[in-house]
Amino acid sequence: MSTAATALSPEILAKYQPVIGLEVHVQLLTKTKAFCGCVNQYGGEPNTHTCPTCLGLPGALPVLNRQAVEYAVLAAKAINCEIRETSVFSRKNYFYPDSPKAYQISQFDKPVAEHGWIDVPSFDESGAPITKRIGITRLHMEEDAGKSLHDGFADSLNRSYIDLNRCGTPLVEIVSEPDLRTPDEVFEYLTRLKEILLYTGVSDCNMEEGSLRCDANVSVMLKGAKQFGTKAEVKNVNSFRYIRAAVQYEIERQIGVIEDGGRVVQESRLWNSSEGRTYSMRSKEQAHDYRYFPEPDLPPLVVGAEWQKEIFARMPELPEARRARMIAAYDISEQDAATLTATQSFADSFETAAKKAKSPKRVAALLTTELTMRLRLKELELAQSPVSLDGVVMAADLLEAGTISSKQLKQLLDTAFENNEDFPAVYEREKPQQISDAGAIEKMIDEVIAANPKQVEQYKGGKKTVSAFFVGQVMKLSKGQANPALLNELVARKLDAQ
């Protein structure tokens, strides 16, 4: 079997068309579990968030959590699904130590929602940017299992320990159509999906804590083929970056297998991030027989028109719509809008500041670059920033008015972050020297013009953009202290007079 996936030439890779479909499990942020009153909370002393129902004790009956239904329906609507008025819970039977009932309550042939989609940015054959619509087959409700623990015990080698705190946590599973074609599309799809789910507030989507988990189904076929190839399912990937890498690895592995004259087997594979490869976990040649049947302890779930309307009324403005609105309202770039809407709170912060500032564009630039960069270096959240939103507004206004140069701004921000001080305090104390004396600036411009006759000729020849070079040189000469607005004006005037 070929494992040297990277040895494949670009010509061979180009013969194949990868096909990917994703199954995403999302834990819902309800107060209590799906079918009992136990607290739905990550962690805790093992086996303390349990009761007869989630322990699967005989005779204990499930009662469906209303909040879980509402979150599932809200999430489904946000990804453009149709809601099924009457859906059915089913038992999915399998034995595993962390599932004491030996079945999982899930939905099978009548899921609560179907036929949705998410738009993701991608590229066409020629490399031009396009928006691609990825179909969503279904969103169904189910319950999570407990956890088997293997590490950190003196006798870990011989035993597994079971923690059933997670048992019965409400989940939705979101299954995509096999519409994805590249690892980058997979990354974009997941990023968009997570954003939407976060906006709706149905989940915290915390991958480290397992609130969002993704299985990637990958196959390859010769380009132009009519039938998809056999898929392998990659499990146990706990970041979007790793999923992208795992899908890439899996595509190349499968092409390698086929090129070597072998065939891809249907199986589950595990991603090993330290080795950057997938391993076979268990063969799926024989389809699992889960012996699905309708859950006899729960009646069909009916979400009628009235209830749906009530739930839909809670839909917040979703990321895509918010981006479009912000671009129009504040005249910011698509790139800045994408960065600013990554979370609702970041977008809220921007809008609060943008409304107070003279130039929302400058606020956007400050937030997405200078501030974000410094926050990252200190591993701080925006809410922990020493520079407040009002500080950002002040900085943006000073820049806009040309009272400080961008170089001075950077120094002021550095000081603010070093001293853990807000921007206005630093500015009032440091009041950076600003040369606004036209005569002094003109003298420096003359100096620079005399030293750069070649650029002067270029300017006179029609290349007006070289004026930026002169502005830069004079700014340097002034140690960043020349008034930028005045400097720009004087450079243009001086050059035109040459």
Binding site for Zn ion (CB under 5 A): 36, 38, 51, 53-54
* Smaller CB separation from ligand ADP, 176 or 455: 176
Helix (H, G, I), strand (E, B) or coil at 13: helix
User: For residues 212 and 195, what is the distance between their CA atoms, to the nearest angstrom?
Assistant: 12
* Smaller CB separation from ligand ADP, 216 or 332: 216
b or e along 186-204 (b: 16 or more beta carbons within 10 Å of the residue's beta carbon)?
A: bbbbbbbbbbbbbbbebbb
* Smaller CB separation from ligand ADP, 234 or 366: 234
Q: Pick one of Zn ion, ligand ADP, none as the site partner of residue 23 (Cβ within 5 to 8 A by kind).
A: ligand ADP
* Smaller CB separation from ligand ADP, 218 or 448: 218
Supply the minimum distance, in Å, between the C-beta of residue 212 and Zn ion: 23
Contact residues for ligand ADP (CB under 6 A)?
A: 19-23, 175-178, 217-219, 228, 231
Q: Pick one of Zn ion, ligand ADP, none as the site partner of residue 236 (Cβ within 5 to 8 A by kind).
A: none
Q: Pick one of ligand ADP, Zn ion, none as the site partner of residue 232 (Cβ within 5 to 8 A by kind).
A: none
Q: Pick one of Zn ion, ligand ADP, none as the site partner of residue 228 (Cβ within 5 to 8 A by kind).
A: ligand ADP
Q: Pick one of ligand ADP, Zn ion, none as the site partner of residue 312 (Cβ within 5 to 8 A by kind).
A: none
Q: Can you list the alpha helix ranges (DSSP code H) found in 84-152?
A: none
User: For residues 46 and 147, what is the distance between their CA atoms, to the nearest angstrom?
Assistant: 10
Supply the minimum distance, in Å, between the C-beta of residue 216 and ligand ADP: 8
Supply the minimum distance, in Å, between the C-beta of residue 225 and ligand ADP: 11
* Smaller CB separation from ligand ADP, 22 or 190: 22
Q: Pick one of ligand ADP, Zn ion, none as the site partner of residue 54 (Cβ within 5 to 8 A by kind).
A: Zn ion
Helix axes 484-496, 467-477, angle to 10 degrees: 130
User: For residues 14 and 150, what is the distance between their CA atoms, to the nearest angstrom?
Assistant: 42
* Smaller CB separation from Zn ion, 62 or 319: 62
Residue of closest CB approach to ligand ADP: 21
Q: Pick one of ligand ADP, Zn ion, none as the site partner of residue 466 (Cβ within 5 to 8 A by kind).
A: none
Element (H, E) at 308: helix 305-312
Supply the minimum distance, in Å, between the C-beta of residue 218 and ligand ADP: 6
Q: Pick one of ligand ADP, Zn ion, none as the site partner of residue 87 (Cβ within 5 to 8 A by kind).
A: none
User: For residues 474 and 449, what is the distance between their CA atoms, to the nearest angstrom?
Assistant: 10
Tokens 């299954």 locate to: 175
User: For residues 50 and 165, what is the distance between their CA atoms, to the nearest angstrom?
Assistant: 6
The answer to whether the CB of 490 falls within 8 A of the CB of 438 is yes
User: For residues 77 and 157, what is the distance between their CA atoms, to the nearest angstrom?
Assistant: 46
Task: Using DSSP bridges, classify how beta strands 267-272 and 232-237 pair: parallel, antiparallel or unpaired.
Answer: parallel
Question: Can you read off the two tokens belonging to residue 71?
Answer: 């979150």
Nearest alpha-carbon partner for 60 in 32, 31, 35: 35
Supply the minimum distance, in Å, between the C-beta of residue 15 and ligand ADP: 17
Supply the minimum distance, in Å, between the C-beta of residue 54 and Zn ion: 3
CA distances from 276 to 241, 286, 321 (A): 11, 28, 37
The answer to whether the CB of 481 falls within 8 A of the CB of 432 is yes
User: For residues 445 and 439, what is the distance between their CA atoms, to the nearest angstrom?
Assistant: 10
Supply the minimum distance, in Å, between the C-beta of residue 178 and ligand ADP: 4
Supply the minimum distance, in Å, between the C-beta of residue 51 and Zn ion: 3
Nearest alpha-carbon partner for 71 in 5, 125, 141: 141
Residue 223, phi then psi, degrees to nearest 5: -55, 135
* Smaller CB separation from Zn ion, 53 or 137: 53
User: For residues 22 and 11, what is the distance between their CA atoms, to the nearest angstrom?
Assistant: 27
* Smaller CB separation from ligand ADP, 227 or 274: 227
User: For residues 441 and 486, what is the distance between their CA atoms, to the nearest angstrom?
Assistant: 8
Supply the minimum distance, in Å, between the C-beta of residue 14 and ligand ADP: 19
* Smaller CB separation from ligand ADP, 23 or 442: 23
* Smaller CB separation from ligand ADP, 140 or 374: 140
Q: Pick one of Zn ion, ligand ADP, none as the site partner of residue 205 (Cβ within 5 to 8 A by kind).
A: none
Q: Pick one of Zn ion, ligand ADP, none as the site partner of residue 123 (Cβ within 5 to 8 A by kind).
A: none
Task: Using DSSP bridges, classify how beta strands 147-149 and 103-107 pair: parallel, antiparallel or unpaired.
Answer: unpaired
Report the residue count for the chain: 498
* Smaller CB separation from ligand ADP, 180 or 363: 180
Question: Can you read off the two tokens belonging to residue 156?
Answer: 């870990």
Supply the minimum distance, in Å, between the C-beta of residue 55 and Zn ion: 7
Nearest alpha-carbon partner for 487 in 427, 444, 430, 453: 444
Q: Pick one of ligand ADP, Zn ion, none as the site partner of residue 217 (Cβ within 5 to 8 A by kind).
A: ligand ADP
Supply the minimum distance, in Å, between the C-beta of residue 43 and Zn ion: 16
